[in-house]
Amino acid sequence: MTPASPALAHAQTNTLVAKLWNYCNVLRDNGLSTIEYVEQLSYLLFLKMADEIASDPFTEAEARTVVPAKYDWQSLASKKGIELEVHYREILAELGKSPGTTLGRIFAKAQNRITEPALLEKLVVELIGKEDWTIQGTDLKGDAYEGLLAKGAEDTKTGAGQYFTPRALIDAMVDVMQPQPGDTITDPACGTAGFLIAAHAYIREHHMQNLSREERLALGDGKIWGNELVTGTARLAAMNMLLHGIGDADGKSLITEGDALAEQPKQHASLVLANPPFGKKSAITIVGTDGKADKQDISYDRDDFRATTTNKQLNFLQHIMSLMEMNGRAAVVLPDNVLFEGGAGEKIRRRLLEDFDLHTILRLPTGIFYAGGVKANVLFFEKKPPRSGGAHNTSKLWVYDFRTAKHFTLKQHPLTRAALEEFVEAYLPGKARGERVETERFKCFDYDELIARDKVNLDITWMKDPALDDADSLLPPEVIAQEIVEDLQAALSEFAAIAEALGGEISADTDEIQPGEGA
């Protein structure tokens, strides 16, 4: 089948997203949240896709029976009313009994949230049943599903946005990291798997024509994997991967569920892409090799960690350091406090400069994440073997200021991939960093300068926003108001971290700020 043009495919995707989203509005009146709606779609989409694959005469016979006939799409579509709802509940309960597989991950702890049989019947017959979800390949349907996740992230009341990283940022990070077919790629806090899907798409676009069949199959057979703490989000990630052609329904799940920080990695990766959850405090203390412990009741022993802290981002940074294989590389979204916090933060930054090559930091603007008050950065670093004489591995750190004089909002002026093109070009992906050129926004700092800074503070600024001085360049009132809110929320979060470090109690409202997906 001839693939659709990019413009046509985009239009088809938007049409399908609109159709799916309009029905979400109907179900919202029935009490469903966005996350619950997308979950129900995931169950039904899987059953419909499995039915299409099973009925395809070109499908190998042994690959046709992913879902037992008693619980397949045809068994569901043949029923109506109360009988349909009862059978749907039975299907959800039975298909969740396949632990370790993609099937089991998608249906893990699945429950029917559509309490009105007529609405369920409409969803089965008119919305899912009338579409051919596999005939046009994975791109269109996968992009439509991801588009639905993106719209769901706008539902701030349910906190859906905490699992979604802006696609423009994901694409820019992937473009500079240039994933290769030989890479093993992971995201330890994968959210809806945006980073993993983008990395797979990059490899497919730039290298697929040169790969053997075995190499192509290997991409979906364990070379790309992720972990997610929340069951419902892990379900969305597994479905998102499957719709983008990564993995098999009855094969080993590429998404694991659980606390990534609980134990040392069993598998290492040559490329880590991540946006860990932004929370100042974890309920768990992780005891590093410094042996310090505090007042938490539960702790994990991680002798691969150098510092003990309850700071979730610092622990994820340490975990990612352990995840990386030698000469592996990472691109990780982390909040400002990771760059300046003392104590464990300083100790971890020293290790990052000495044992790793921290070569680039991208300072991100506010207004691009669904959670407010987030000031974040992307850290790009590589794991290097120890140098003779205990010499440090970081020689130069390049900092790109994409924050000063950059103003984005989620709806009126959202972040685009084009807005990040100047950074991508300055990064010089695939070229020696010695060829980089300093600009107004891109500055280079030597190791000696960095290590001499108070507490090895890497929160480096040098630019001034011209809008602050030029009356003719004043921003619209709504942008100014939003930035004030962002600054106040960020300051509150930083003060909460200080209070926690001093032994204070942190209220639930300031304890957790999560824009992260991983995607």
The mean pLDDT of the chain is 82
Q: Which DSSP string do the residues of 362-401 spell out, in sequence order?
A: EEPPSSSSSSSS--EEEEEEEE-PPPGGG--S--EEEEEE
Question: By C-alpha distance, which of 148, 180, 178 is closest to 164?
Answer: 148
The whole-angstrom separation of Cα 215 and Cα 211 is 6
Higher-confidence residue of 197 and 129: namely: 197
Going by pLDDT thresholds of 50, 70 and 90, the confidence category of residue 489 is low
At residue 346, the 3 state secondary structure works out as helix
- What distance lies between CA 354 and its chain's CA centroid? 28
Cα dihedral 464/467/468/472 (nearest 10): 140
Please write the tens of the pLDDT for every residue from 169-187. 999 999 999 999 999 999 9
Nearest of 39, 41, 8, 6 to residue 23 by alpha carbon: 41
> How much of the chain exceeds pLDDT 70, in percent?
78
Query: Nearest Cα to 146, choosing from 226, 236, 225?
Result: 236
In the three-class reduction of DSSP (H, G, I as helix; E, B as strand; rest coil), residue 434 is classed as helix
Rounded to the nearest angstrom, the gap between the alpha carbon of residue 220 and the centroid of all alpha carbons in its chain is 18
Dump pLDDT digits (tens) for 115-161.
Answer: 889 989 988 988 888 877 765 555 667 777 887 787 777 765 555 55
Instruction: Identify the pLDDT of residue 63.
Output: 47
In angstroms, rounded to a whole number, what is the distance separating the alpha carbons of residues 221 and 335?
Answer: 33
Residues near 515 by Cβ (< 8 Å), separated by ≥ 6?
A: 161, 162, 164, 165, 275, 278, 369, 370, 371, 374, 376
Q: Over 90: is that where the pLDDT of 87 sits?
A: yes
Averaged pLDDT for residues 317-329: 97
Distance CA(407)–CA(368), nearest Å, equals: 9
Place of tokens 């600009």: 439
Look up residue 387 and give its two tokens. Answer: 């140098």
Contact 162, 173 (CB under 8 A): no
398's CB contacts (< 8 A; 6+ apart) are 359, 360, 361, 433, 436, 442, 443, 444, 445
* Residues ≥6 apart with Cβ < 8 Å to 504: none
**Domains in the chain, please, with CATH?**
17-149 (1.20.1260.30)
Q: What is the pTM of this model?
A: 0.84
pLDDT at 490: 62
pLDDT band at 251 (very low <50, low <70, confident <90, very high): confident
Relative to beta strand 376-383, strand 356-363 is: antiparallel
Is residue 297 predicted with pLDDT exceeding 90? no
SS (H, E, C) 209-268: HHCCHHHHHHHCCCCEEEEECCHHHHHHHHHHHHHCCCCCCCCECCEEECCHHHCCCCCC
d(CA 170, CA 194): 7
Residue 184 near residue 509 (C-beta atoms within 8 A) = no
Closest CA to 228 of 194, 201, 202: 194
Please name which of 221, 225, 226 lies closest in space to residue 188, comparing C-alpha atoms: 226
On whether the CB atoms of residues 22 and 122 are closer than 8 A, the answer is no
Question: Phi/psi at 145 (nearest 5 deg)?
Answer: -65, -45
Mean pLDDT for 379-408 is 93
Q: Which of 286-290, 340-344, 455-459 has the highest mean pLDDT?
A: 455-459
Name, in order, each residue with C-beta under 8 angstroms of 305's C-beta and a sequence gap of 6 or more: 286, 287, 288, 289, 315, 318, 319, 322
Asked which of 250-259, 450-459, 480-489, 502-511 is least confident by mean pLDDT, the reply is 502-511
Identity of residue 293: A
| Cα–Cα distance list, 379 to 264, 303, 329, 359, 450 (Å) | 22, 24, 11, 8, 15
Q: Is the per-residue pLDDT at 2 higher than 70?
A: no
Q: What is the DSSP letter of 519?
A: -
Rounded Cα–Cα distance for residues 517 and 391 (Å): 35
